[in-house]
Protein backbone atom coordinates (compact mmCIF):
# COMPACT_ATOMS: atom_id res chain seq x y z
CA UNK A 1 0.00 0.00 0.00
CA UNK A 2 2.87 2.38 0.83
CA UNK A 3 4.28 1.99 -2.67
CA UNK A 4 0.82 2.65 -4.15
CA UNK A 5 0.47 5.81 -2.07
CA UNK A 6 3.89 7.00 -3.18
CA UNK A 7 3.10 6.31 -6.82
CA UNK A 8 -0.19 8.22 -6.60
CA UNK A 9 1.48 11.32 -5.18
CA UNK A 10 4.44 11.14 -7.58
CA UNK A 11 2.15 10.82 -10.61
CA UNK A 12 -0.05 13.68 -9.39
CA UNK A 13 2.95 15.95 -8.86
CA UNK A 14 4.40 15.12 -12.27
CA UNK A 15 1.12 15.89 -14.07
CA UNK A 16 0.57 19.13 -12.15
CA UNK A 17 4.14 20.28 -12.75
CA UNK A 18 3.96 19.60 -16.49
CA UNK A 19 0.61 21.33 -16.88
CA UNK A 20 1.49 24.36 -14.77
CA UNK A 21 4.67 24.92 -16.76
CA UNK A 22 2.66 24.83 -19.98
CA UNK A 23 -0.03 27.35 -19.04
CA UNK A 24 2.56 30.00 -18.19
CA UNK A 25 4.25 29.73 -21.61
CA UNK A 26 3.20 31.56 -24.77
CA UNK A 27 1.88 29.18 -27.45
CA UNK A 28 4.03 29.18 -30.58
CA UNK A 29 6.98 30.98 -28.99
CA UNK A 30 10.48 29.56 -29.27
CA UNK A 31 10.49 28.42 -25.65
CA UNK A 32 6.78 27.70 -25.42
CA UNK A 33 4.69 24.78 -26.65
CA UNK A 34 2.72 24.67 -29.88
CA UNK A 35 -1.03 25.15 -29.61
CA UNK A 36 -1.58 21.39 -29.92
CA UNK A 37 0.99 20.54 -27.27
CA UNK A 38 -0.41 23.23 -24.98
CA UNK A 39 -3.91 21.75 -25.29
CA UNK A 40 -2.57 18.29 -24.47
CA UNK A 41 -0.66 19.55 -21.42
CA UNK A 42 -3.67 21.57 -20.28
CA UNK A 43 -5.79 18.41 -20.52
CA UNK A 44 -3.19 16.61 -18.39
CA UNK A 45 -3.44 19.37 -15.78
CA UNK A 46 -7.24 19.35 -15.88
CA UNK A 47 -7.41 15.59 -15.38
CA UNK A 48 -4.87 15.74 -12.55
CA UNK A 49 -6.94 18.39 -10.78
CA UNK A 50 -10.12 16.36 -11.30
CA UNK A 51 -8.44 13.25 -9.88
CA UNK A 52 -7.04 15.12 -6.89
CA UNK A 53 -10.33 16.89 -6.18
CA UNK A 54 -12.28 13.63 -6.38
CA UNK A 55 -9.97 11.70 -4.06
CA UNK A 56 -9.64 14.56 -1.57
CA UNK A 57 -13.38 14.29 -0.81
CA UNK A 58 -12.61 11.10 1.13
CA UNK A 59 -11.29 12.18 4.57
CA UNK A 60 -9.80 8.71 5.08
CA UNK A 61 -7.69 8.86 1.91
CA UNK A 62 -4.34 9.40 3.60
CA UNK A 63 -2.43 9.01 0.33
CA UNK A 64 -4.01 12.22 -1.02
CA UNK A 65 -1.98 15.39 -0.27
CA UNK A 66 -3.92 18.10 1.58
CA UNK A 67 -2.08 20.81 -0.37
CA UNK A 68 0.84 21.32 -2.74
CA UNK A 69 3.33 24.14 -3.36
CA UNK A 70 4.37 25.16 -6.87
CA UNK A 71 7.34 27.52 -7.20
CA UNK A 72 6.82 30.81 -9.00
CA UNK A 73 9.37 32.14 -11.48
CA UNK A 74 10.12 35.20 -9.34
CA UNK A 75 10.67 35.82 -5.66
CA UNK A 76 8.30 38.55 -4.51
CA UNK A 77 8.60 40.86 -1.52
CA UNK A 78 6.69 39.29 1.34
CA UNK A 79 5.03 42.56 2.34
CA UNK A 80 3.49 43.18 -1.09
CA UNK A 81 2.86 39.66 -2.37
CA UNK A 82 -0.51 39.48 -4.16
CA UNK A 83 -1.92 38.58 -7.57
CA UNK A 84 -1.54 42.21 -8.72
CA UNK A 85 2.20 42.06 -7.98
CA UNK A 86 2.86 38.96 -10.09
CA UNK A 87 4.91 39.06 -13.27
CA UNK A 88 3.25 37.89 -16.54
CA UNK A 89 4.34 34.21 -16.44
CA UNK A 90 3.28 33.84 -12.83
CA UNK A 91 -0.03 35.65 -13.26
CA UNK A 92 -0.72 33.44 -16.31
CA UNK A 93 -0.40 30.36 -14.10
CA UNK A 94 -2.89 31.78 -11.61
CA UNK A 95 -5.38 32.78 -14.31
CA UNK A 96 -5.04 29.37 -15.95
CA UNK A 97 -5.68 27.63 -12.65
CA UNK A 98 -8.66 29.83 -11.84
CA UNK A 99 -10.15 28.87 -15.19
CA UNK A 100 -9.43 25.15 -14.81
CA UNK A 101 -10.70 24.98 -11.22
CA UNK A 102 -13.96 26.80 -11.88
CA UNK A 103 -15.88 23.51 -11.70
CA UNK A 104 -13.41 21.72 -9.43
CA UNK A 105 -13.21 23.89 -6.32
CA UNK A 106 -9.68 24.64 -5.17
CA UNK A 107 -8.28 27.41 -3.03
CA UNK A 108 -5.34 29.11 -4.72
CA UNK A 109 -2.99 30.93 -2.36
CA UNK A 110 0.43 32.57 -2.39
CA UNK A 111 3.25 31.68 -0.03
CA UNK A 112 6.63 33.13 0.93
CA UNK A 113 9.00 30.23 1.65
CA UNK A 114 12.33 30.40 3.45
CA UNK A 115 15.24 28.06 4.08
CA UNK A 116 17.53 29.15 6.92
CA UNK A 117 21.00 27.75 7.61
CA UNK A 118 23.11 28.67 10.63
CA UNK A 119 26.70 27.50 10.69
CA UNK A 120 30.44 28.07 10.70
CA UNK A 121 32.20 30.02 7.97
CA UNK A 122 35.80 30.88 7.15
CA UNK A 123 36.76 34.54 6.74
CA UNK A 124 38.08 35.50 3.31
CA UNK A 125 41.25 36.77 5.01
CA UNK A 126 42.44 33.85 7.19
CA UNK A 127 44.95 36.10 8.98
CA UNK A 128 42.40 38.65 10.11
CA UNK A 129 42.28 37.29 13.67
CA UNK A 130 46.00 36.70 14.19
CA UNK A 131 46.89 38.49 17.44
CA UNK A 132 43.20 39.38 17.77
CA UNK A 133 42.45 42.65 19.61
CA UNK A 134 38.74 43.62 19.74
CA UNK A 135 39.69 47.27 20.25
CA UNK A 136 41.89 47.39 17.17
CA UNK A 137 40.52 49.84 14.61
CA UNK A 138 41.96 47.85 11.70
CA UNK A 139 40.15 44.73 12.89
CA UNK A 140 36.84 46.62 12.89
CA UNK A 141 37.43 47.75 9.32
CA UNK A 142 38.36 44.24 8.20
CA UNK A 143 35.28 42.82 9.93
CA UNK A 144 33.08 45.36 8.17
CA UNK A 145 34.60 44.26 4.85
CA UNK A 146 34.06 40.59 5.73
CA UNK A 147 30.42 41.26 6.58
CA UNK A 148 29.85 42.84 3.16
CA UNK A 149 30.64 39.65 1.19
CA UNK A 150 29.10 36.17 1.16
CA UNK A 151 30.83 33.23 2.84
CA UNK A 152 30.84 29.52 2.15
CA UNK A 153 29.48 27.55 5.07
CA UNK A 154 31.92 24.91 6.33
CA UNK A 155 29.53 23.33 8.83
CA UNK A 156 25.76 23.65 9.09
CA UNK A 157 24.70 23.65 12.74
CA UNK A 158 21.01 24.41 12.33
CA UNK A 159 18.62 24.11 9.38
CA UNK A 160 14.97 25.12 9.15
CA UNK A 161 12.27 25.58 6.52
CA UNK A 162 9.48 28.08 7.13
CA UNK A 163 6.37 29.44 5.46
CA UNK A 164 6.93 33.10 6.27
CA UNK A 165 3.53 34.17 4.94
CA UNK A 166 0.47 32.47 3.51
CA UNK A 167 -1.72 34.90 1.59
CA UNK A 168 -4.91 35.02 -0.41
CA UNK A 169 -4.64 36.38 -3.95
CA UNK A 170 -5.75 39.83 -2.78
CA UNK A 171 -2.76 39.99 -0.42
CA UNK A 172 -4.50 39.15 2.88
CA UNK A 173 -2.23 37.19 5.24
CA UNK A 174 -4.08 34.20 6.71
CA UNK A 175 -1.13 32.45 8.41
CA UNK A 176 2.58 33.09 8.93
CA UNK A 177 5.80 31.73 10.37
CA UNK A 178 5.01 28.04 10.54
CA UNK A 179 7.25 25.09 9.57
CA UNK A 180 7.37 24.12 5.90
CA UNK A 181 7.19 20.43 5.01
CA UNK A 182 9.05 20.32 1.69
CA UNK A 183 7.46 16.96 0.79
CA UNK A 184 4.38 19.00 -0.18
CA UNK A 185 6.34 20.80 -2.91
CA UNK A 186 5.95 19.66 -6.52
CA UNK A 187 9.75 19.37 -6.80
CA UNK A 188 11.89 17.28 -4.46
CA UNK A 189 14.08 20.13 -3.23
CA UNK A 190 12.66 23.60 -3.92
CA UNK A 191 15.88 25.29 -2.78
CA UNK A 192 18.33 23.11 -4.74
CA UNK A 193 21.18 25.02 -6.43
CA UNK A 194 19.68 28.32 -5.28
CA UNK A 195 21.90 31.32 -4.56
CA UNK A 196 21.88 32.88 -1.11
CA UNK A 197 19.22 35.58 -0.79
CA UNK A 198 20.69 37.14 2.35
CA UNK A 199 23.60 36.52 4.71
CA UNK A 200 23.97 37.71 8.28
CA UNK A 201 27.62 37.43 9.28
CA UNK A 202 28.78 37.26 12.88
CA UNK A 203 32.45 38.01 13.41
CA UNK A 204 34.94 36.12 15.58
CA UNK A 205 34.20 36.48 19.30
CA UNK A 206 36.90 35.31 21.68
CA UNK A 207 37.36 31.60 21.04
CA UNK A 208 34.30 31.36 18.82
CA UNK A 209 34.86 31.09 15.07
CA UNK A 210 32.95 33.36 12.70
CA UNK A 211 29.41 32.21 11.96
CA UNK A 212 26.76 33.20 9.47
CA UNK A 213 23.08 32.71 8.84
CA UNK A 214 22.13 32.08 5.22
CA UNK A 215 18.61 32.78 4.02
CA UNK A 216 17.14 31.36 0.81
CA UNK A 217 13.74 32.78 -0.14
CA UNK A 218 11.16 31.69 -2.71
CA UNK A 219 7.59 32.50 -3.65
CA UNK A 220 5.06 29.80 -4.44
CA UNK A 221 1.49 29.06 -5.40
CA UNK A 222 -0.40 26.86 -2.97
CA UNK A 223 -3.14 24.57 -4.26
CA UNK A 224 -5.63 23.27 -1.71
CA UNK A 225 -8.71 21.17 -2.54
CA UNK A 226 -11.63 22.99 -0.97
CA UNK A 227 -12.73 19.76 0.72
CA UNK A 228 -9.60 20.02 2.85
CA UNK A 229 -9.12 23.77 3.14
CA UNK A 230 -10.51 24.20 6.68
CA UNK A 231 -8.36 21.36 8.00
CA UNK A 232 -5.32 22.69 6.11
CA UNK A 233 -5.71 26.21 7.53
CA UNK A 234 -6.31 24.89 11.04
CA UNK A 235 -3.12 22.85 10.79
CA UNK A 236 -1.19 25.94 9.62
CA UNK A 237 -2.44 27.89 12.65
CA UNK A 238 -1.58 25.02 15.02
CA UNK A 239 1.97 24.82 13.66
CA UNK A 240 2.25 28.60 13.81
CA UNK A 241 1.27 28.58 17.49
CA UNK A 242 3.60 25.69 18.38
CA UNK A 243 6.61 27.33 16.71
CA UNK A 244 6.44 30.53 18.76
pLDDT tens for residues 204-222? Answer: 765 567 899 999 999 999 9
Other beta carbons within 10 angstroms of residue 164's beta carbon come to: 17
Helices of type H across the chain: 2-23, 35-56, 88-100, 137-147, 229-242
Give me the percent of the chain exceeding a pLDDT of 70: 83
Number of domains in the chain: 1
The residues near 33 (Cβ < 8 Å, ≥ 6 apart) are: 22, 25, 27, 41
- Tens of pLDDT, residue by residue over 167-189, are 999 999 999 999 999 999 999 99
- Look at residue 131 and tell me whether its pLDDT is greater than 70: no
| Full-model pTM | 0.87
Name the DSSP letter for residue 230: H
In a domain, 182, yes or no: yes
Say if 130 falls within a structural domain: no
Contact status, residue 210 vs residue 122, Cβ threshold 8 Å: yes
Max Cα distance, the chain (Å): 71
Question: What is the pairing mode between strands 198-202 and 68-71?
Answer: unpaired
Evaluate whether residue 65 is within a structural domain.
Answer: yes
Residues 6+ apart with CB under 8 A from 220: 69, 70, 71, 72, 110, 111, 113, 185, 190
Range of the domain at 94: 5-26+33-123+145-242
> What's the whole-number mean pLDDT along residues 94-106?
88
Does residue 140 fall inside a structural domain?
A: no
Q: Is residue 136 part of a domain?
A: no
> Angle at Cα 16 formed by Cα 11 and Cα 21, nearest 5°?
130
Amino acid sequence: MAASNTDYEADLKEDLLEGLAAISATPGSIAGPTAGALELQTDTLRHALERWHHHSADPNATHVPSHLYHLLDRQYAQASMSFNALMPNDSARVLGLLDLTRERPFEILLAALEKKELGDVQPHDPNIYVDYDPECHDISEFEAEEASVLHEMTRVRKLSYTVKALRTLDGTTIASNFPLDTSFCLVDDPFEDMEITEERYRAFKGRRDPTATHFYRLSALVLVPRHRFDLFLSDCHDRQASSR
